[in-house]
A and B are shown apart, each in its own frame.
Chain A
Amino acid sequence: MKEFKYVITDPVGIHARPAGLLVKEAKNFKSTATFIKGDKSAKATALMKLMGMGIKQGDEVTVRIEGEDEEACAVALEKFMKENF
């Protein structure tokens, strides 16, 4: 299992369009990535649930990745978060 934390800097938070791109990115991997904020969590491939977490600017999210390509997946998602959120 791999895990990283990220603080959202985008003014709107995890909103529709980049969230869609995040889903696309996550689907490139066999591993399951889960976004966790407080008591809420959503798979990185579940667009609306991800948006439904209401992640806003300044929120810290934990991203947990499990699966055969978790190493590469974690690197790719962390990079994606930095560039888009």
Chain B
Amino acid sequence: MEVFKGTKIVNGIAIGKIKVYKAPVYTISEELVSDIAAEIARFDAAREKVQAEQNALYDKEMKAGHKDTAGIFEAHAMMLDDEETLIDPCKELMAEGHTAEYAVRDGFDAAAAMFLNMEDEYFKARSADVIDLKNAMLDVLFGADTANLQGTEPAILVAEDLAPSETVKLDKSLLLGLVTRQGSSNSHTAILARSMNWPTLIQCHDVADDWDGKFAILDGYNSCIYIEPDQDIIDKLSAKQKEDKEKEAKLQELKGQPSVTKDGQHVKLYANIGGPKDINAVIDNDAEGVGLFRSEFVYLNSKTDPTEDEQFAAYKKVLEGLAPRMVIIRTCDIGADKTIDYMNLEKEENPALGFRAVRICLTRPAFFKRQLRALLRASAYGNLGIMFPMIISLWEVQKCKGILNECKAELEAEGVKVGNYQIGIMIETPAAALCADELAEEVDFFSLGTNDLTQYTCAIDRQSASLEPFSNTHHPAVLRLIRETIEAGHRHNTWVGICGELGADPTLTEEFLKMGVDELSVNPKSILPLRGNVRNADMSKYKTQSPKPEAKPEPKPEVKAEAKAEKPKGFFGRLFG
């Protein structure tokens, strides 16, 4: 048995024979030919065929909902139309008597070199696209049967590296796992592997041709591959794989299913995301919307204060990419632990209780308005919710809305289209939770930020290890604030969601449903497990108050106390009344 390390992209275990994937190496004739027209005709036919292939890959990825990967192939197809840089230089070579193969090699290599010599990393990486097209052209010209490179039986594929079109063309039913010597965690292959959930190792520097045909186990959890593993490893990892598969199969069945309890109570399951890069994760995990889009990335990824147009481009991308799903974008939440040089924020004794979020925005209205204008402009491209964080007082909400309305009037006067949107606030301070009735009058929705709400309610710094014994994430005070916020919201037709970590806590799902929560926003990976919880829940047992305490033991006594305190009326009663 031998073990080799790599960098894992996806957890999970693959067991089977190895197939070493080798792109064909062609010997290109340097001889001149006399029938120039015939070479040009072969070239044109190959170009048409490759272009059709790329368009087919585009369709395939669009159907799978992967707009980003689809865009790669659309651009490939368009590159093949580029006469000036790609086609004409090839035709000139053929006019000199070179073969179509020779022309493709030299012509495409020159175009790839142009990109490779550029400074910007994005454009540099485009050289790989041109090389990908070159290989596709050569495959067609040599009549290579690339369909068979993968072999005919299920295998763990081992390769030097894989081009995007190679990865997409792989027969998924024969692919157990993927190991490459090269590749980066941001490469197209890695992105696709993640979205397809293939056990994958990259940068495994020891891959060797003689692995071909050997029995192996790829252990994504431990970032390694066992070649000809010992029996105890086989037994252990086979069991783990079986367990994973059963779990996964159950989750996959939940895609497209409504998030509804056995007795018909609906809850929306939304995703928390950090930027446009997470669009695919939202779609692949079948989230019904985005409950928290942290807009910090536009500030943190920029060396200078981002302009309105820069912000607009980012928001528009997410709204368009996810339409018609609702996307709630939280306005700037800088401050506390997230500081930025260009903001020139003073160092504070107590940053968690300091100058952050709307406190900064309301002090610096010009800065705030840039973001609000960008959001309003983006609202024309999807279903937007605008959410203000760190609210403690009614006047703050009114002031935020006032500035938002000013921006809207300005844009409309400029003739810029503004779409429909909802307005909401984070409930993450005890002050906001206790004033929820007044605040609900002003907004369409509340979103409970349970991380900060817990920290501020219990006066416990979550980062501090020494406070661990005192910390209780299910503290009854926090659960009571959540319940009362939900009830207050519903009294004023304001819908209420939870976007903090508690939302994904499976031991609380029933509790939140009982409180009548309208939406839970969690990280994309938690959507399907959470949907499973919701669909297994039967809330009818709570409908009639039983005189005896619940027979079912709950993990935390505090939670049980809360359950008993539940009033018969409130939203839940209205829902089923």
Contacts and interface: CB of A to CB of B under 8 A. Distances in A.
Interface in B68-113: 71-72, 74-75, 78-79, 81-86, 111
Interface of B: 71-72, 74-75, 78-79, 81-86, 111, 114-115, 118-120, 122-123, 126, 129-130, 301, 307, 309-310, 312-314
A48 B86 contact: yes
Interface of A: 9-13, 15-17, 19-20, 23-24, 43, 45-49, 51-52, 54, 56-57
B85 to A, nearest CB: 4
B87 to A, nearest CB: 10
Given A20-B74, A48-B114, A57 B84 contact: no
B307 A9 contact: yes
A15 B118 CA distance: 13
A17 B85 contact: no
B231 to A, nearest CB: 50
Contacts of B118: 52, 54
Q: Is the interface of B mostly helix, strand, loop or mixed?
A: helix
Given A46-B84, A52-B85, A11 B78 contact: no
20 contacts: A9-B312, A11-B301, A11-B313, A13-B122, A15-B123, A16-B72, A16-B75, A16-B78, A17-B75, A24-B78, A43-B84, A45-B84, A46-B84, A47-B79, A47-B81, A47-B85, A48-B85, A48-B111, A48-B114, A48-B130
A54 B309 CA distance: 20
Q: Top 7 nearest A-B pairs by Cβ distance?
A: A9-B309, A16-B75, A20-B78, A48-B85, A46-B84, A17-B71, A47-B82
A12 to B, nearest CB: 5
A27 B78 CA distance: 12
Given A43-B84, A52-B115, A52-B118, A16 B126 contact: yes
Given A9-B307, A9-B309, A17 B74 contact: yes
A56 B121 CA distance: 11
B313 A47 contact: no
A9 B302 CA distance: 13
B307 A12 contact: no
B75 A49 contact: no
Nearest to A8: B309
Contacts of A23: 78, 81
A83 to B, nearest CB: 9
A17 to B, nearest CB: 4
Contacts of B123: 15, 51-52, 54
A17 B75 CA distance: 5
B318 to A, nearest CB: 13
B129 A54 contact: no
Nearest to B78: A20
B86 A9 contact: no
A20 B309 CA distance: 21
Contacts of A10: 313
Contacts of B75: 16-17, 19-20
A81 B390 CA distance: 37
B309 A12 contact: no
A5 B54 CA distance: 34
A10 B307 CA distance: 11
Contacts of A24: 78
A12 B276 CA distance: 13
Interface centre among B71, B82, B111 (most CB of A within 10 A): B82
Nearest to B308: A9
Contacts of B79: 47-48
B122 A12 contact: yes
A57 B86 contact: no
B310 A11 contact: yes
